[in-house]
Amino acid sequence: MTSKKISLTDWQQQSSTLVYSTDNGTIAADKPEKTSGTAFSDGHLRIKRETKGRNGKAVITIAGLAESHDKLTELAALLKKKCGCGGSVKDGIIEIQGDQREVISQELTKLGYKFKFAGG
């Protein structure tokens, strides 16, 4: 068996998951940019109750907000306070734990958003 010897710089160029280099020290991976929401063509938000992949626990998702990630986070924080539960913002969609459709629909109406209930 013959092994080909390569230099450190050649090895660094081949390895995209390099964690430590003797030249530069620790190399931090690039963080992906946070995604903002995208609006539907009719301008309405979609409020959907989902349980798939969550062991039967209900989660309300709100999609269709064409806002920045920071604005979505602020709105999610407001809705979480009103509902008294947890939640998050993932890929431009607000997720609120529990079946809180009525409270969420009242708050979105107060804020001036138009919405439709989607799903089952």
For residue 81, give both structure tokens: 């306070």
Rounded distance between C-alpha atoms, residue 33 and residue 69, angstroms: 10
- What pTM, to 2 d.p., does this model score? 0.70
The fold of the 45-118 domain, in CATH, is Translation Initiation Factor Eif1 (3.30.780)
Residue ranges per structural domain of the chain: 45-118
Nearest Cα to 62, choosing from 106, 111, 105? 105
What pLDDT is attached to residue 87? 94
pLDDT tens figures, 79-112: 999 999 999 999 899 999 999 899 999 999 999 9
Question: Which three-class secondary structure state does DSSP give residue 61?
Answer: strand
Report how far apart, in Å, the C-alpha atoms of 81 and of each of 12, 71, 84 are. 48, 16, 5
Q: Are strands 93-97 and 59-63 parallel, antiparallel or unpaired?
A: antiparallel
pLDDT at 46 over 90: yes
